[in-house]
Every structure is written in C-alpha cells, then in structure tokens.
C-alpha cells in the first residue's frame, strides 16, 4: 500500500499559515481536545534523536533519560522556536525537573505550562484531573483571548474520540492492514502531530485497503517509544511481527470514548481509565494482567521490553513483571537504548536470537 504521511514541518507551517497556534507537548498524557478548542495544535516532542546533547547536559544530570536531555537540547538549538507554548505533563521526576529548569533558569520565549497528573484511578484522581483541566482552560483563555463553550469543548472531544476509535481499529486489524512494522508505526505515530481529522482520513484509507494477514513471528513491543525507529526495520528483516504493543507513545494511549456530559470530566476520565501505565501509578499486577490478555488476544509468543536508559518508572517494574510473564509461559527480553545513538550491533544480535528462540 502506498501511503503518504505529510512531514511534521509541513503540518506546522500549514497550521501557522491558517492562524493556529502550536503547542510543543512533551510526554505522555494530556488532552488534545482541550488545546484544539482554543485553536492550539499539539505537536509532540519525544526527544527527538540526533541532537547536540551537550546543550541540555549543561543543565541536567548525566543519569537523566535521553528523552529529556534531547528535548532540552532541541529547544536550545532553536528547534521549538516555532511553538507558541510548551506543555509539560508531570509524567516523571525528570520531566518535572525539566519544567523547573525551563521556568526558573532558561526562561525561553514560549510560555511554559505544566500539567499535573494523578497517580491512580480513584474518584479523587478524576476530580483532581478535572480541576487541572479547568486550570488549563483559564491559562489558555488568558493566552488566546478565547472562551470556548461546553458545546465547543464537546465538539473538540468527539473529534478526538473518533480519531482514537480509528486508531484502536487499526490496532485490532493490525495483521490485515498490509503494513510492515515500520510503516504501521509511522502511521500510528503521525497521531503525535497530525490534527485529528487528518489522521482519521489516513486511518480510514488504510483500513479500506486491508489485505491478507502478514506472516511473521508474533511479538509484543513494550516501553516508552521505538526510537531510533530503525529497530522496527530490523525486526521486519528478522521476520518479527509486532502484533500488539504496550508503548507509552502508542498503545498506552488507546483512550476509550467518554460518556460524561461534562466536558472536563469526560477529558479526565479518558486519561485516568486509559490502559495501565507505570507513569500513572498502575500496579505491576494490573500491567501483568493487561500484557497477558494482550498476548492471548493477539497470539504473541513473547515480549520485547524496549527501554530508554535511566527511565525509572519503566525499569523499576521489569524484574517482577518479567517473572510474572514467565509464569504465564511468555518469554521476554530487555533492550536498553539511548535514543540519540544508532542501534548497536549487539541489539540486532539479541533481538535476532530472541526471535529465533520463539520460532524454534
């Protein structure tokens, strides 16, 4: 299937030419709908790779993960100059520290807006996030001079829900859409910067072109993000097939549609009740159950934990999580990477050996 995904710069230029504002958004969870209700378009910043990390290193400890190092370095290189504001969810201690560095020390031209996330799925957590979104509404109103009504907010929410439903459908038909691992994740990750309506068009075309299931050794990919993305090409060449994922940038954001008539609660519930995520405080037991069911439903034979070095929320869970998967008959492997580096040969060797073991 031939699929043309517009590049990030082209999308941003089009947004600016039509009078929209751009928010650079760091990982992981936030409400796209709330931004769009103010004609602010989110463009996510997951690193990016291949930057001069010494620029960020002047302000950060060496043991901070490369997503944060690269994000700060990219900003200092001028990579975020086109953004009108920077939204930073308090996903982890490293991102919380980055917020403080930007506000107190670097003080870039863009407005820095933190988003505090709850660490549970109680009613109190929903109420906390509702208050956070109401606070963001006030910040965005002050910034833009706009005051979207509840109807405006619900319109924006339903647009995002439709896009997320199509994303979920892509996942459910993953083996029939006829895309290689690399092409599938290029499409899925375009959700990081494409407006919802544009992503929905791409997803619908892809689903309409569904073909025969692709062959391959079925695996689950878990972790934060598949960077550098050449790892996906590598898995393709080794006859591996990613049939499901537990990636923070992808599968953990398969948000279900909301039901509340209150737009703020509806936005909050979608995130609080999202798939299990260690950065939102979900237990190892919840993650184990989720991964086990994912493997049963997809036919996956093993799990590759593809982790960014020094990512504490991820790495703390892995010993117990892997032990639980082993008891369920699921093999797993841990690969740690720095997203700024090319993939070492030993990564290819280890993934190749793992796939060979599953296929034997």
Place of tokens 């117990």: 320
Of 132, 133, 172, the closest CA to residue 254 belongs to 172
Backbone angles phi, psi at 155, to 5 degrees: -60, -45
Q: Digits of tens for pLDDT over the chain (360 positions)?
A: 556 899 999 999 999 999 999 999 999 999 999 999 999 999 999 988 889 989 988 899 989 999 999 999 999 999 999 999 999 999 999 999 999 999 999 999 999 999 999 999 999 999 999 999 999 999 999 999 999 999 999 999 999 999 999 999 999 998 888 899 999 999 999 999 999 999 999 999 999 987 777 889 999 999 999 999 999 999 999 999 999 999 999 999 999 999 999 999 999 999 999 999 999 999 999 999 999 999 999 999 999 999 999 999 999 999 999 999 999 999 999 999 999 888 888 999 999 999 999 998
- Of 150, 172, 191, which residue is a domain's last? 150
Place of tokens 């602010």: 40
Of 242, 236, 234, 251, the closest CA to residue 218 belongs to 242
Do 143 and 231 have their domain in common? no
Backbone angles phi, psi at 333, to 5 degrees: -145, 150
Query: 17 in a domain, yes or no?
Result: yes
Pairing of strands 85-89, 21-25: parallel
Query: 197 in a domain, yes or no?
Result: no
- Alpha-carbon separation of residue 114 from 46, 90, 91 (angstroms): 16, 7, 10
Do 219 and 140 have their domain in common? no
Q: Which residues pair with 87 in a beta bridge?
A: 25, 113
For 350, the domain range is: 213-359
Please tell me whether residue 217 adopts helix, strand or coil conformation: strand
What are 152's two structure tokens?
A: 């405006």
Do 49 and 133 have their domain in common? yes
Please tell me whether residue 206 adopts helix, strand or coil conformation: helix
CATH number at residue 258: 3.40.50.11900
Do 240 and 328 have their domain in common? yes
Do 135 and 240 have their domain in common? no
Task: Give the alpha-carbon dihedral of 223, 181, 4, 68, to 10 degrees.
Answer: 20
Query: 322 in a domain, yes or no?
Result: yes
Of 217, 218, 234, the closest CA to residue 182 belongs to 234
CATH number at residue 56: 3.40.50.11890
Do 22 and 125 have their domain in common? yes
Q: State how far Cα 279 lies from the chain centre.
A: 12
Count the domains in the chain.
2
Do 127 and 228 have their domain in common? no
Query: 201 in a domain, yes or no?
Result: no
The whole-model pTM stands at: 0.94
- Of 150, 168, 184, which residue is a domain's last? 150
The rounded distance, in Å, linking the Cα atoms of 347 and 54 is 25
Query: 185 in a domain, yes or no?
Result: no
- Of 150, 169, 190, which residue is a domain's last? 150
What are 207's two structure tokens?
A: 């689903």
CB burial of residue 298 (10 Å; 0-12, 13-18, 19+)? buried
Do 124 and 237 have their domain in common? no
Q: How many helices (H) and strands (E) does the chain have?
A: 14, 8
Query: 166 in a domain, yes or no?
Result: no
Of 139, 114, 40, 115, the closest CA to residue 84 belongs to 40
Give the angle 189-194-199 at the CA atoms, nearest 5°. Answer: 80
Query: 239 in a domain, yes or no?
Result: yes
Query: 244 in a domain, yes or no?
Result: yes
């Amino acid at each position: 299937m031939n699929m043309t995904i517009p590049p990030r710069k082209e999308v941003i230029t089009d947004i600016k030419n039509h009078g929209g504002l751009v928010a650079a958004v760091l990982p992981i969870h936030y409400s796209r709908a709330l931004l769009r209700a103010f004609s602010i378009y989110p463009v996510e910043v997951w690193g990016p790779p291949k930057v001069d990390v010494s620029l960020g290193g002047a302000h950060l400890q060496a043991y901070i993960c490369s997503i944060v190092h690269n994000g700060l370095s990219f900003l200092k290189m001028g990579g975020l100059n086109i953004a009108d504001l920077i939204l930073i969810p308090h996903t982890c201690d490293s991102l919380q520290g980055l917020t403080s560095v930007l506000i107190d020390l670097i003080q870039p031209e863009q407005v820095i807006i933190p988003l505090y996330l709850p660490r549970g799925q109680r009613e109190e957590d929903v109420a906390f996030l509702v208050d956070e979104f109401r606070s963001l509404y006030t910040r965005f109103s002050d910034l833009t001079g706009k005051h979207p009504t509840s109807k405006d907010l619900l319109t924006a929410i339903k647009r995002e829900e439709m896009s997320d439903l199509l994303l979920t459908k892509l996942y459910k038909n993953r083996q029939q859409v006829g895309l290689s691992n690399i092409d599938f994740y290029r499409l899925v990750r375009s959700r990081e910067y494409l407006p919802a309506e544009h992503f929905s068009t791409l997803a619908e075309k892809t689903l309409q072109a569904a073909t025969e299931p692709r062959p391959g050794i079925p695996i689950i990919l878990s972790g934060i993000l598949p960077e550098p993305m050449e790892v996906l090409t590598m898995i393709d060449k080794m006859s591996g097939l990613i049939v499901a994922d537990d990636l923070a940038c992808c599968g953990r954001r398969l948000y279900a549609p909301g039901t509340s008539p209150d737009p703020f609660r509806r936005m909050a519930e979608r995130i609080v009740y999202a798939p299990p995520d260690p950065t939102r405080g979900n237990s190892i037991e919840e993650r184990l159950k989720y991964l086990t069911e994912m493997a049963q439903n997809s036919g996956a034979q093993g799990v590759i934990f593809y982790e960014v070095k020094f990512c504490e929320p991820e790495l703390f869970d892995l010993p117990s999580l892997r032990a639980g998967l082993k008891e369920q008959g699921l093999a797993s492997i841990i690969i740690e990477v720095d997203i700024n580096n090319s993939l070492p040969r030993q990564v290819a060797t280890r993934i190749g050996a793992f796939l060979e073991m599953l296929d034997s």
